[in-house]
C-alpha cells in the first residue's frame, strides 16, 4: 500500500510540474511574440511612411480576413475581395476603395447567389482597417498610437483588476458571450484606459475631451473584444487562428483595435481630431 501511495503522489507531482511547465512555456511564447510585435509597430511608426503603413495594414487585413473567412464559414469570395482591396488601398484613398469593394462584393454575392456571410467578411476586418488607414492619412501616426494604447491599456487593466477583484462585488459575469470576464475587470480596464489614455491624448485635445474621448474609446474597445468573442463562440473555436504563438490569431490581437479605429475615424469625420 505504501508503494502505491508513493507512486500516486509521484504521478500527481509529475502532472503538477508538467502543467506548470506547459503554462510557463505558453507564457514565454506570449512574451516573445508581444515583444516582436511591439518592435515591428515601433519601427513602422518611427519610419512613418504612408506606403509602408499601407503595406502593414494590407498584411494585417490579409491574415485577419482569412481568419474571418474561417469564422463566418465563407467560400472565399469575400476574402479575395478584401485582400485585393487592402493591396489597392496602399496607393488609393482607403475609404473610396472600401466603398467600391463593398459595392462589387454585394453585386457578386447576388449574381453568383453566394451566402450573405461573404459580405460579413468584408465588413470585418476589412472596413475597420480601411477606416484606420484613412485616419492615419488624415490625422497622423500620433492618433493611431493613442488608439492602439487605449486598447492595450484596457486589456491590461481588465486583466489586473479582474485577477484582484473579479466577482467580489458583482457576482454575475460581464456578458454571457464572455463568461470569464468580470464587471470589476471591465470597469477597471476602462478606468485605466480613460486616465492614462487621457494623458496620452493631451497633445490632441483639451483635458476634459481627452478624458471623455478616451473613456468612450475604451468602451468601444471592450465591445470590439466582445464581438470577436461572439464570432468565435458561434464558430465553436477558442482562437481565431494560430499564426501568433501564445496569442492565437490576428483577430485575437486586434479585436478591440478594429472598433477603436472605426471610432477614431468617426471622430475625424466629425472634425474632432
Give a yes or no: residue 72 inside a domain: yes
Q: 254 near 144, Cβ under 8 Å?
A: no
Is residue 16 a part of any domain in this protein? Answer: no
Per-residue pLDDT band at 99 (split at 50, 70, 90):
very high
Q: If you average pLDDT over residues 15-37, what whole number do you get?
A: 68
Query: Among the three residues 134, 155, 186, which one is the final residue of a domain in this structure?
Result: 134
Q: Please check whether residues 95 and 206 belong to one and the same domain.
A: no
| Residue 18 in domain | no
Per-residue pLDDT tens over the stretch 189-201? 999 999 999 999 9
Residue 213 CB coordination number (10 Å): 23
Q: Are 68 and 121 in contact (CB under 8 A)?
A: yes
Could you list the residue range(s) of the whole structural domain that residue 56 is in? 50-134
Is residue 19 one of the residues assigned to a domain? no
Question: Model confidence at 117, in pLDDT bands (50, 70, 90)?
Answer: confident
Residues 255 and 211 in one domain: yes
234 in the same domain as 113: no
Final residue of a domain: which of 118, 134, 150? 134
Mean pLDDT of 27-38: 74
Of 7 and 108, which is predicted with more confidence?
108
Percentage of the chain beyond pLDDT 90 is: 65
CA distance 74 to 120: 9
- pLDDT, tens digit, 9 for 90 and up, residues 200-247: 999 999 999 999 999 999 999 999 999 999 999 998 888 888 887 777
Per the rule left: phi > 0, alpha: psi between -120 and 50, beta: everything else, 206 is beta
126 contacts 98 by C-beta, under 8 angstroms: yes
| Shared domain check, 269 and 181 | yes
Mean pLDDT of the chain: 89
Same domain, 179 and 112: no
187 found inside a domain? yes
Domain shared by 120 and 149, yes or no:
no
Residues 127 and 173 in one domain: no
196 and 68 in a single domain? The answer is no
Of 134, 153, 177, which residue is a domain's last?
134
**Residue 39: per-residue pLDDT:** 87
Region 131-152: what's the mean pLDDT? 95
Looking at the fold, whether 70 and 178 belong to one and the same domain comes out as: no
The pLDDT assigned to 75 comes to 84
Q: How many domains does the chain have?
A: 2
Tens of pLDDT, residues 72-98: 888 889 999 999 999 999 999 999 999
83 and 188 co-located in one domain: no
Enter the C-alpha cell of residue 218: 475604451
Statement to judge: residues 127 and 170 lie in one domain: no
- Residue 110 inside a domain? The answer is yes
Residue 267 is assigned to a structural domain of this protein? yes
- Domain assignment present for residue 13? The answer is no
pLDDT at 9: 63
Are 248 and 145 part of one and the same domain? Answer: yes
Neighbour count for residue 113 (Cβ, 10 Å): 6
- Over residues 156-185, the pLDDT tens digits come to 999 999 988 888 888 888 888 888 889 999
Exposure class string for 42-60: b at 16+ Cβ within 10 A, else e: eebbeeeeeeebbebbbeb
Amino acid at each position: 500500500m505504501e508503494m502505491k501511495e508513493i507512486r500516486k503522489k509521484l504521478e500527481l507531482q509529475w502532472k503538477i510540474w508538467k502543467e506548470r511547465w506547459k503554462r510557463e512555456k505558453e507564457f514565454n511564447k506570449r512574451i516573445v511574440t508581444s515583444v516582436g510585435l511591439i518592435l515591428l509597430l515601433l519601427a513602422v511608426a518611427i519610419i512613418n511612411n504612408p506606403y509602408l503603413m499601407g503595406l502593414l495594414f494590407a498584411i494585417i487585413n490579409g491574415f485577419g480576413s482569412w481568419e474571418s473567412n474561417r469564422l463566418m464559414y465563407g467560400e472565399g469570395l469575400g476574402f479575395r475581395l478584401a485582400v485585393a482591396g487592402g493591396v489597392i488601398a496602399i496607393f488609393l484613398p482607403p475609404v473610396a476603395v472600401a466603398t467600391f469593394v463593398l459595392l462589387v462584393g454585394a453585386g457578386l454575392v447576388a449574381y453568383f447567389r453566394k451566402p450573405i456571410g461573404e459580405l460579413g467578411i468584408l465588413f470585418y476586418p476589412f472596413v475597420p482597417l480601411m477606416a484606420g488607414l484613412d485616419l492615419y492619412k488624415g490625422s497622423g501616426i500620433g492618433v493611431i498610437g493613442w488608439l492602439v494604447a487605449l486598447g492595450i491599456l484596457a486589456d491590461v487593466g481588465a486583466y489586473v483588476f479582474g485577477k484582484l477583484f473579479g466577482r467580489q462585488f458583482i457576482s454575475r459575469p460581464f456578458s454571457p458571450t464572455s463568461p470569464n470576464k468580470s464587471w470589476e475587470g471591465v470597469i477597471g480596464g476602462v478606468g485605466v484606459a480613460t486616465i492614462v489614455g487621457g494623458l496620452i491624448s493631451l497633445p490632441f485635445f483639451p483635458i476634459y475631451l481627452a478624458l471623455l474621448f478616451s473613456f468612450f474609446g475604451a468602451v468601444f474597445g471592450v465591445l470590439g473584444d466582445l464581438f470577436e468573442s461572439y464570432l468565435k463562440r458561434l464558430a465553436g473555436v477558442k482562437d481565431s487562428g494560430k499564426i501568433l504563438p501564445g496569442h492565437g490569431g490576428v483577430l485575437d490581437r486586434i479585436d478591440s483595435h478594429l472598433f477603436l479605429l472605426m471610432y477614431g475615424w468617426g471622430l475625424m469625420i466629425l472634425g474632432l481630431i
